[in-house]
């Protein structure tokens, strides 16, 4: 290839992509060399947060439920890093206190989401919200024939009814203020595939998916975007314990073409993207984040 041609292609690439993007490509490539897949995922997520235009998040308020641990906690931290005023809601005060200690700017609210009336009151007290991440969720493994009523009620109360309740209060405020907003409901690939001993969990997440569709249909005219993210197994602290046994993990991994489970940062990336202006015409979508699991 002639030098002049190479120079022209280089200048064209710089013009299209931009110096800022090229800089981040180089930084990311350098930082991930010799790292494990988990470390690479975390580094890429951190660089994405730095690269994203923070102005679209600054001066905004986000409510994140289930923010004491795992996906919710990391989402709250990422949004705070982007300049959002984050309200972290969890039922466990100890988890909230540790999050507040880690990032003092985060506002914390202790709430038992199974209590419908108390939840509505506390969410109303939070005031105007621009972004909502409905993340709180629970599960208890049991075969369909052995599921107890109290377990059915608990899982549906947290995984579905609380999503409905919190979103109803937040969306009503968005409609009244006429300023739009974005809502992300954290669902699961379990809504799309049956899993043994997950009868109630699968049903609760399927309900979240359909609720997301109806919310999108009804709230779109108010400039409120609603989507869900549907991850497969994520390596949260609990996820690592639950899937540490190769006898359990290997059959699931064999169904994932990418050959591994998700890092939490990869789910947070999807959530933040759906909240951002870059997803301005993505609406009513159940977004799988699953390494190709649903193709198998």
User: Is residue 205 annotated as a catalytic residue, yes or no?
Assistant: yes
Q: And the tokens for 122?
A: 């506390």
The three state secondary structure string of 81-101 is: HCCCEEEEEECCHHHHHHHHH
Q: Active site residue: 148, 201, 223, 248, which one?
A: 201
Q: Is 70 left (phi over 0), alpha (psi -120 to 50) or beta?
A: left
Rounded Cα gap, residues 80 and 230, in angstroms: 23
Helix 264-275 vs helix 37-51: crossing angle, to nearest 10: 20
CB 26 within 8 A of CB 10: no
User: Is residue 19 annotated as a catalytic residue, yes or no?
Assistant: no
Rounded Cα gap, residues 111 and 120, in angstroms: 10
CB 135 within 8 A of CB 71: yes
Long-range contacts of 106-110 (CB under 8 A, 24+ apart): 106/76, 106/77, 106/80
Instruction: Give the residue from 17, 47, 12 showing the smallest Cα distance to 29.
Output: 47
On the 0-12 / 13-18 / 19+ scale of CB atoms within 10 A, 87 is buried
- Residue 200 CB: number of other CB atoms within 10 A? 24
Kindly give, in sequence order, each residue whose CB lies less than 8 Å from that of residue 69, ignoring residues fewer than 6 positions away.
Answer: 90, 92, 95, 236, 237, 238
Residue with tokens 């994140």, as numbered in its chain: 64
Q: Active site residue: 122, 205, 221, 223, which one?
A: 205
Bridge partners for 88 per DSSP: 64, 108
What amino acid positions are annotated as catalytic residues?
201, 205
């Amino acid at each position: 290839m002639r030098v002049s041609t190479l120079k022209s292609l280089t200048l064209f690439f710089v013009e299209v992509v931009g110096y800022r993007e090229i800089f981040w490509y180089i930084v990311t490539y350098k930082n991930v060399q010799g790292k494990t897949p988990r470390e690479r995922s975390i580094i890429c997520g951190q660089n994405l947060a730095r690269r994203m235009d923070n102005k679209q998040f600054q001066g905004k308020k986000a409510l994140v439920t289930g923010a004491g641990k795992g996906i919710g906690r990391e989402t709250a931290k990422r949004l705070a890093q982007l300049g959002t005023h984050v309200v972290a809601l969890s039922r466990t005060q100890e988890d909230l206190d540790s999050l507040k200690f880690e990032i003092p700017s985060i506002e914390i609210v202790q709430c038992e989401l199974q209590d419908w009336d108390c939840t509505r009151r506390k969410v109303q007290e939070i005031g105007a919200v621009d972004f909502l991440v409905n993340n709180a969720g629970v599960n208890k493994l049991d075969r369909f024939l052995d599921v107890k009523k109290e377990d059915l009620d608990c899982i549906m109360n947290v995984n579905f009814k609380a999503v409905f309740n919190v979103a109803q209060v937040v969306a009503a405020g968005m409609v009244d203020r006429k300023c739009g907003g974005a809502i992300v409901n954290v669902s699961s690939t379990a809504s799309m595939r049956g899993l043994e001993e997950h009868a109630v969990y699968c049903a609760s997440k399927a309900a979240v998916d359909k609720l997301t569709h109806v919310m999108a249909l009804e709230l779109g005219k108010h400039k409120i975007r609603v989507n869900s993210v549907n991850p497969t197994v994520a390596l949260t602290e609990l996820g690592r314990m639950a899937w540490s046994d190769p006898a359990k993990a290997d059959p699931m991994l064999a169904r994932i073409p990418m050959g591994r489970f998700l890092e939490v940062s990869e789910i947070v990336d999807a959530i933040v993207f759906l909240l951002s202006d870059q997803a301005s015409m993505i609406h009513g979508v159940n977004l799988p984040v699953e390494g190709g699991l649903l193709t198998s």
